[in-house]
Structure 1
Amino acid sequence: MTTSVTHPAPRPAGDVADASAPEEISSHLKWPQRPPSVSLGDRRDSGPHIALGTNEPGIRALFQYRPETAHPLILLSEVLLCGESTLSRGDRELIAAYVSARNQCRFCFYTHAAFAAVRAPEGMTLVEQVCEDLDSAPVTAKLRALLRIAGTVQQDGRQVTGELVDAAREAGATDLEIHDTVLIAAAFCMYNRYVDGLATFAPEDPAVYAARARMTGGYVAVNGEQLPRAS
C-alpha cells in the first residue's frame, strides 16, 4: 500500500502563519541520533569562504549577510513550499529534500528532510527510502512520477521528456503540480549551490533540524527577521 506524505490544509501564499494546528504535525520526529542514512559525499570543514559575521548555519547565515537577496528567496520558498497547492507541504518538502540529497547539499537536505519527516507518519524512514530507492519507496504513483521529474531537472532540465510528463499526468498530476515540481527542483539546485558555493556550516546534530521542523510557521514567519526592514 502506498501513501503520500500527510499534510496540513493548504493556505494562501500571502498568509505567513501556518494554518495547520500543532496536532496536525507529528509530535515525534523520527530521526535517529545520527544523520539520515543517505550518502552525501565527503564533509567540508574548511569554513565559509567569506566572513559572514554570524554563527548561523547554511542559508540562514547567508540571509543575514545579504538581506536584500534574502527577501525574494524567502518569498519564493514560501510560495513554493507553503503556499496554496494541491500538493501537500510534506510532499513539496520531500521534493526539496530529494533534490538536495542528489546535489549532496548537507544543510538543505537535513533541513528539508526534517520538514518532510515531521509531516509523514513514516517519519525520516520515508525520506531515506525515497532517496535510496525511489522505485520501491512507499509513496503514491503521482508523487513518484513528480519526484522522477524533479530528479531529472536536478541532472539536466533538457532531459525532462514528454514521456516523463505524460506519466505524471496519467498518475493524476495536474499541469500546475508539474510546473511547481520543476520550479522547486530548479530553485533547490540554486539554493544548494548557494549554500555550498560559499562553504557554509551544516551542523550534524539532528536536534538542530528537528527543532526547526517543529516550527509551525511558514518561511516568512520563521525567517522574518532576515527580511529587509521598510525604510
Structure 2
Amino acid sequence: AQGAPDILAGIALMLVLLLFILSGGDRIYQKLIRSLPTFGDRRKGLRIAHDVEREVSRYLATITAINILLGIVIGTLMAIVGLPNPVLWGIAAAVLNYVPILGAMTGVVIVGVVSLVSMQTTGQALIAPALYLACTVFEGQLITPMLIGNRLKINSVAIVLAIALWGWLWGFVGILVAVPLLIVASVISNHVEGLGGLRELLGPHSTSNNPDRSIPTNGK
C-alpha cells in the first residue's frame, strides 16, 4: 500500500510517453533514416526498426494472451481450494507473469503465506501454492516455449540482471519493460556486426556442434 502511489505514478508516466511515441507515427522512422549518413546505413536502420517493432509486438501479444489464460486458471483453482479473494490472485498471477522467473516465484511465496494464514491445517495450506507452482511451471516449460518458439533467444541470467537493473532505475514499470528492452537489444545486436559480444552475452547457453568452435582439450 505504501508503494502504490509510486507504482501508479510510474505507470502514468509510461502511458504518457507511450501516447507521445504513438502520436509520432512514421515521423520516428523518417528521423531515423535522416540521422544515418549513408544509404546502406539507412536501409539497415529501417530494417532494424521494423524487426524491433515486429518482435516486441509478437512477444507482448503472445505473452498477454498466455497471462490472461494463466490468471483465469489460477483464479479458478484458488476458488476451488477455498483461498480468499480468488479473483485478486488470478489478476496478480497474470500481472506477475510478465516478469519471467521472478514473477512466478513471488506469486508462489505470496500465495503460500496467505494460505498458511487462512487455512486450518498445514496440509491444506500447501495445496494452493503447490497448484500455483504447477501452473506456472507448466506454462513456463511447455506453453510459452511452444507459442513463442525460438524468437526469444535470451538466457535467464541476462533476464534476471535486466529486471534487477530496470527495477532499480524505474521501479515496477522498469520490471515490466525489462524483457521488451532485452528483445530490442537482441534484435539490434543481430543486425550490427560490431555487437557480437552483446549478442553472445544475451544468447542462450548452448554448446556448438561445430568442431572448429568447440573448446580445445588435451592441448589440441
Same fold (TM over 0.5): no
TM-score (normalised: structure 2): 0.31
Please, what TM-score do these two structures have when normalized by structure 1?
0.30
The structure with the larger Rg is 2
